[in-house]
Amino acid sequence: MTATTLAGLTGAALIGLGLYGVLVNVHALRKILAFNLIGSGVFLVFGLVARRGAVAGFAADPVPQAMVITGIVVAFSATALAIGLLLRLHERRVEDAAAESDNRSDNKSDKT
Amino acid sequence: MTVLDLLDTGLAVLVLAVAAWTIVARSNFAAVIGFMTYGLLLSLVWARIAALDVAITEAAIGSGVTGLLLIGAAVRLRALEKSDTAGQVGGLGRVGAAVLSVLVVVALAAVFLSAEGQGPSLAPEAARHLPQFGLGNPITAVLMAYRAIDTMLEKVVLILAVIGVWSLAPDGAWGGAPANLSLAEPDPALVYLARVLPPFGIVVSIYIAWVGASEPGGAFQGGALLAAMALVVLMARLAPAPEVGRLWLRLVIVSGPVTFLAVGLLGFAIATGFLAYPTAYAKALILFIEAFMVLSIAAMLPLLVLGPPKVPGGRA
Amino acid sequence: MAEFLLAAAGLIVATVAVGLVRILAGPADVDRTMAAQLLGTGGVATLLLVAAATEARGAEDAALCLALLAAFASIAFVVAAPRRDGR
Amino acid sequence: MSLALDLFTVVAVVLGAFFFLAGTVGLLRFPDSLSRLHALTKADNLGLGLIVLGLLPQATSLLGVLKLVAIWGLVQLSGATVAQVVASAIRRRQDPPS
């Protein structure tokens, strides 16, 4: 078994692990991590595809590899935005909880 | 089985073990540290399958900016972690998810194992036109010439992410500065590192970006390293986080894609069309674009880590 | 020579991999960080050995990136970690 | 000549790998965080240092030599800083400010 096939199988296993994590983990941060595992698994599959395109003196096909680099950048952007949203949501929850406990003294709050 | 096979197998097992740990770890913090380790191991795997460009990207971003982003989030969400057990997936759900995941893995593995031998390849095609651009690294040629529009739009995606993160600011803080990365007074040793490391870091970033024309490396990798250096300075509080309303900051951010677009449009006049380069100046133009891309990447990645503005600015 | 260098690389990966048990066991997050730091240094060493053995173009540059960012993760941890408890 | 250089490489790399082993054993076996940190710094300094030293004769160009030395220097700097910063983090945890 070559390093390349091994990397492909690792990619497949990572996709599976990530899928399990996205489905099972409750915490949103952990879902983001798991989603990134799926992403890097897919990238490794691209690595396999690139390596299968190794012809006539080339170590690998550059096109899938370049796509992986673009993919890593976009995945990072998406992760950063997701974490930004998550943190803001958390802040709002804390603010709402604080406001609710303030209001509780004078009127009955109806929790949504 | 040779030594190299053993090394590869060991690496694969390690990657999977650490990945599994980030799924099952009890605390978010432990999971995040696992994820940083995972990025590092992954870059070793990329180095082993002849994808050094990707290995450098993964090393620069995986062990740098991503880790800081995730650690910051894990710390701020710590309170949430303990209370939030509602909606826990039950035993049956877990078994179902596990079965589904195993099925996916088996199906994918079967496909990969059945696809033996040569696949379709664009490598000769990519290499044939290399001299035309004066480049030696086919990946840079793919990124900057053959599929230049992808790379340009990728930078636009980064800008959109920055705008998205900024737009999460509370109303009063718009145009102000993001919160500090460190909560307390920084350690003197860290301040020392933040003074000594960045000069070396700047040299290495420029080298990686420059060498990308002929060897593995490139603009994004160089920019990500530069971004990490900026974050070291910010962590040591040698410089304050910039106010997001500043004009210079916004100009730096858009400089990369705008230069790319301008040169692309210039292609109508001096070459055969949009994003085409005249053969005589191809390498010079590509490096010109890359220089601005390094700058805007080095500005955008730290901004994504810093998060939305929190402190009201002077001239919002 | 190449075989020897690769064997050394394999040995170092195996060694620091065992050290990763500290990531699982902890007990404190600071111990986990130390294991990650050891893996970082081990990764640099591995890349250098593989670069010398297989003459893979760019492996040294990847090692250079890792070396430049060697302190990054640990510092990020210490800076972001809450003050009182490290657990 | 080349045999002597190869021998030098083998000895230095083996020693370097040994220090990685020692660092890992220390990280796993030592009872508290500060002594584990002590073990870790040995792998950072001596382990990588000896491997770089061993690889120097195998370098094919001046740039290669320069890179190896730069890598060692960067890891030294980072390792020293991390040891300081982590040690004070451990201390803060052990005796919280009153």
Q: Give the count of Cβ contacts less than 8 A between chain B and C.
A: 159
**What total number of domains does chain B contain?**
2
Q: Please check whether residue B164 is in contact with residue A81, taking contact to mean a CB–CB distance below 8 angstroms.
A: yes
Q: Which residue, B210, B199, B296, B308, is CA-closest to B252?
A: B296
Share the mean pLDDT of chain B.
Answer: 85
* Chain C residues within an 8 Å CB radius of B48: 50
Q: Where are the strands (E) in A18-109, listed by range?
A: none
B299 to chain A, closest Cα gap in Å: 13
Whether residue C85 lies inside any domain: the answer is: no
Please tell me which residue, B271 or A1, carries the higher pLDDT value. Answer: B271
Assess whether pLDDT exceeds 90 at residue B205. yes
Whether residue B23 lies inside any domain: the answer is: yes
Average pLDDT over residues B278-283: 82
D38 to chain C, closest Cα gap in Å: 10
Q: Which domain holds residue B29?
A: 1-79
Closest chain B residue to C64 measured between Cα atoms? B204
- Name, in order, each residue with C-beta under 8 angstroms of C62's C-beta and a sequence gap of 6 or more: B43, B47, B52, B55, B56, B59, B216, C47
Dig out the tokens for D74 from the structure: 């960067």
Determine whether the interchain pair A87/B89 forms a contact, defined as Cβ–Cβ distance below 8 Å. no
**What total number of domains does chain C contain?**
1
Domain co-membership, B166 together with B39: no
Most confident range (mean pLDDT) of A76-90, B55-69, D1-15 is A76-90
Determine whether the interchain pair C15/D86 forms a contact, defined as Cβ–Cβ distance below 8 Å. no
- pTM of the predicted model, to two decimals? 0.89
Q: A: neighbours with 3+ CB pairs under 8 Å?
A: B
Q: Which range is least confidently modeled, A65-79, B56-70, B74-88? A: B74-88
Average pLDDT over residues B191-210: 92
Tell me the pLDDT band of A1, cut-offs 50, 70 and 90: low
Domains observed in chain A: 3-111 (1.10.287.3510)
Please report the pLDDT score of residue B203 as a whole number.
93
Q: Please check whether residue A70 is in contact with residue B293, taking contact to mean a CB–CB distance below 8 angstroms.
A: no
Domain co-membership, B65 together with B181: no
Please tell me which residue, D93 or D84, carries the higher pLDDT value. Answer: D84
Whether residue C86 lies inside any domain: the answer is: no
* Chain B residues within an 8 Å CB radius of A37: 19, 22-23, 38
- Summarised one tens digit per residue, pLDDT across range B98-109 is 999 999 999 988
Cβ neighbours around D5 below 10 Å, total: 13
Q: Which residue, B91, B100, B84, is CA-closest to A20?
A: B100
Please report the pLDDT score of residue B83 as a whole number.
54
Q: Which domain holds residue C36?
A: 2-78
Q: How far is CA A14 from CA A20, B19, B124, in A?
A: 10, 7, 31
Domain co-membership, B138 together with B72: no
- A and D touch with 3+ CB pairs <8 Å, answer no
Tell me the pLDDT band of A107, cut-offs 50, 70 and 90: low
Tell me the pLDDT band of B198, cut-offs 50, 70 and 90: very high
Closest chain B residue to A89 measured between Cα atoms? B168
Assess whether pLDDT exceeds 70 at residue B85. no
Closest chain C residue to D86 measured between Cα atoms? C78
Q: Burial level of B89, CB count in 10 A (0-12/13-18/19+)?
A: middle
- Summarised one tens digit per residue, pLDDT across range B18-48 is 999 899 888 888 888 889 889 889 988 888 8
Please report the pLDDT score of residue D1 as a whole number.
56
Q: How far, in Å, CA of B274 to CA of C69, rounded?
A: 38
Does residue B81 belong to the interface with chain D, where contact is any CB pair within 8 Å? no
Q: How far, in Å, CA of A8 to CA of A67, rounded?
A: 16
Average pLDDT over residues D5-10: 86
Average pLDDT over residues A37-54: 88
Domain co-membership, B167 together with B281: yes
Domain co-membership, B72 together with B212: no
Optimal mutation site among A29, A35, A43, A93, interface B, most CBs of chain B within 10 A: A29
- Summarised one tens digit per residue, pLDDT across range D28-62 is 888 888 888 888 888 778 889 999 998 888 887 88
Assess whether pLDDT exceeds 50 at residue B309. yes
Please report the pLDDT score of residue D38 as a whole number.
85
Q: How far, in Å, CA of B298 to CA of B279, rounded?
A: 29
Whether residue C9 lies inside any domain: the answer is: yes
Task: Give chain C's residues under pLDDT 70.
Answer: 82-87
- Summarised one tens digit per residue, pLDDT across range B140-195 is 888 888 888 888 999 999 999 999 999 988 888 887 888 877 777 788 888 999 99
Domain co-membership, B176 together with B275: yes
Element (H, E) at B203: helix B188-211
**Size (chain B), residues:** 316
- Which member of B4, B69, B151 has the closest CB to residue A70? B151
- Summarised one tens digit per residue, pLDDT across range B153-167 is 999 999 999 999 999
Question: pLDDT exceeding 70 applies to what percent of chain B?
Answer: 95
* Chain B residues within an 8 Å CB radius of C47: 44, 47
Share the mean pLDDT of chain A.
Answer: 85
Domain co-membership, B161 together with B276: yes
Q: Which domain holds residue D66?
A: 2-93
Domain co-membership, B137 together with B202: yes
Please report the pLDDT score of residue B293 as a whole number.
92
Buried-state track B257-280, b at ≥16 Cβ within 10 A, e below 16: bebbbebbebbeeebeeebbbeee
Q: Which residue, B121, B272, B137, is CA-closest to B211?
A: B137
**What total number of domains does chain D contain?**
1
Please report the pLDDT score of residue B84 as a whole number.
54
Determine whether the interchain pair D77/B187 forms a contact, defined as Cβ–Cβ distance below 8 Å. no
